[in-house]
């Protein structure tokens, strides 16, 4: 049974795309076929983590939304970019990084229902075990749709007052959409904070299980999105936390 997983944060800069890419790699390391959709159409970026160059992008999600191609045509097999540890397969559906195409989406909008159809079709057509949706920060129709059709929602936040308030909105909306499984990940926790204390405080605030409370990582910053962290640093505490999230998704 395939699972659709939305990875969301109310605010930008929480490490959402990085987390999505790592979860995809970790799930694929266990032999799964994983699709990743970049629905952050206004500010795409996850393709960089998978080392997918613009010149390699045959079709993007934008092309599908404009009826230029089928959803399957937009899927790029990036497994070869991840190294030999990955036993399964990872397919990336990138959003266009052409300024004109981003502007066209902003100008004209698109039928959100096509995302609905596309998500379901690509799961079937590629025989995916998991479809991970890297959402746009905040709440809009696309994000609500992603959450509405997901089996699992991973909410990411930083221990920041602005994140606390916004995350409450996300959690409230997710509850109204009856997401079957919701979990949280607290990311980029400063070294001055106690990880267990942060985890307990967040769980108490939202009444949602925090699967991982991850410290700020200089290694992650140094990697600077040039690869998948968990593959390069398999023994890091950050990787262990991400593995716990992947296990919770697959469990």
Partner 1 sequence: MPPGSSPKDEPVNQEQFERALLEIKAGKEDIRPSDVVIFSEPLRSTLNRAVRIGRISLTEFAKELEVERERAREIVELLIKRNLLRVSSFSNDKETFYETRLSAMTRPLGRPPSDIFKKLDD
**Which positions lie near partner 1, rule CB under 8 A?**
42, 98-104, 106-113, 116-117, 120, 140-142, 144-145, 147-151, 173, 176-178, 180
d(CA 166, CA 13): 13
Which CB sits closer to partner 1, 30 or 138? 138
Least separation in angstroms between residue 19's CB and partner 1 is: 23
CB of 143 to partner 1, least distance (A): 8
Distance CA 193, CA 181 (A): 28
Query: Whose CA is closest to 154, among 66, 221, 241, 43?
Result: 241
Residue 181 beta carbon to partner 1: minimum distance, rounded to whole angstroms: 12
Smallest gap from Cβ 141 to partner 1, in A, equals: 5
User: Which of 154, 134, 156 minimizes the C-alpha distance to 143?
Assistant: 134
CA 166 centroid distance within chain? 18
Of 111 and 247, nearer to partner 1 (C-beta) is 111
Of residues 72 and 181, the one with the C-beta less far from partner 1: 181
Q: Which residue, 1 or 192, has its beta carbon nearer to partner 1?
A: 1
Residues in the chain: 251
Q: Nearest distance from residue 64's CB to partner 1, in Å?
A: 15
| Residue number, 3 or 188, with CB nearest to partner 1 | 3
DSSP three-state, residue 160: coil
Q: In 10 A of CB 201, how many CB atoms?
A: 17
> Are 234 and 243 spatial neighbours (Cβ–Cβ below 8 Å)?
no
Q: How far is the CB of 39 from partner 1 (least distance, A)?
A: 12
**Nearer to partner 1 (CB atom), residue 108 or residue 218:** 108
Element (H, E) at 232: helix 229-232
Sign of the alpha-carbon dihedral angle for 46, 51, 53, 57: negative
């Amino acid at each position: 049974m395939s699972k659709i997983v939305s990875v969301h944060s109310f605010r930008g800069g929480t490490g959402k795309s990085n987390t999505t890419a790592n979860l995809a790699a970790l799930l694929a390391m266990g032999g799964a076929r994983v699709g990743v959709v970049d629905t952050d159409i206004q500010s795409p970026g996850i393709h960089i983590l998978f080392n997918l160059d613009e010149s390699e992008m045959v079709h993007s999600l934008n092309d599908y939304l404009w009826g230029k191609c089928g959803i399957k045509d937009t899927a790029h097999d990036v497994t070869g970019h991840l190294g030999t540890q990955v036993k399964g397969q990872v397919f990336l559906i990138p959003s266009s990084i052409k300024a004109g195409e981003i502007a066209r989406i902003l100008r004209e909008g698109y039928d959100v229902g096509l995302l609905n159809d596309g998500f379901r079709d690509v799961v079937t057509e590629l025989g995916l075990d998991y479809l991970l949706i890297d959402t746009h920060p905040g709440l809009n129709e696309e994000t609500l749709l992603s959450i509405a059709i997901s089996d699992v929602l991973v909410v990411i936040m930083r221990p920041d007052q602005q994140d606390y308030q916004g995350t409450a909105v996300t959690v409230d909306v997710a509850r109204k959409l009856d997401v079957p499984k919701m979990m949280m990940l607290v990311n980029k926790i400063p070294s001055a904070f106690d990880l267990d204390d942060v985890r307990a405080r967040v769980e108490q605030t939202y009444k949602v299980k925090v699967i991982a409370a991850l410290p700020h990582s200089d290694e992650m910053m140094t990697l600077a999105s040039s690869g998948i962290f968990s593959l390069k640093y398999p023994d890091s505490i950050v990787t262990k936390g991400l593995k716990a999230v992947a296990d919770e998704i697959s469990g």
